[in-house]
Amino acid sequence: MSATSVSPATTDRRVPRAVTVSAWLVPVMVLAQFALIAVVPVAIALIGALTRVGDRSVRAAAALVAVAFAVPLTVWLVRPDGAQSLSKDIHPVFVALLVAASAALVTAIHRPRRR
């Protein structure tokens, strides 16, 4: 019998690639004025982190990104005099909070893990 050698990088991937890509896409899409479409990577990052990642800091950072996105989205949906798009209605402070939360998620994803 022969033992097969599998590299640890392929078997020990703790954060799915979809979560990592979504963490990078959220601030890019918000800054590029595609804030409403950014709901897709926010949802992917949150669901992927909560279901597939065991690291608490990644899960907490993904939840922070989701909350930072949900607040301006809710304000935009509830206001009767809001702009036609979320990108035009979102306050710059919320943009900064969303970018900072996404940076925290990216940092949590890429930090070294203890075994």
- Give the tens place of pLDDT for each residue, 46-81: 999 999 998 899 999 999 999 999 999 999 999 988
pTM of the predicted protein model: 0.83
pLDDT at 111 over 90: no
In the predicted structure, residue 44 carries a pLDDT above the cut 50 = yes
Residue bearing the bigger pLDDT, 9 or 115: 115
What is the CB neighbour count within 10 angstroms for residue 67?
A: 14
* Percent helix, percent strand, percent coil in the chain, to nearest 5: 70, 0, 30
Whose tokens are 């990644």? That residue is 58
Backbone angles phi, psi at 98, to 5 degrees: -65, -40
Higher pLDDT, 14 or 77: 77
On average, the pLDDT of the chain sits at 88
Place of tokens 């601030």: 27
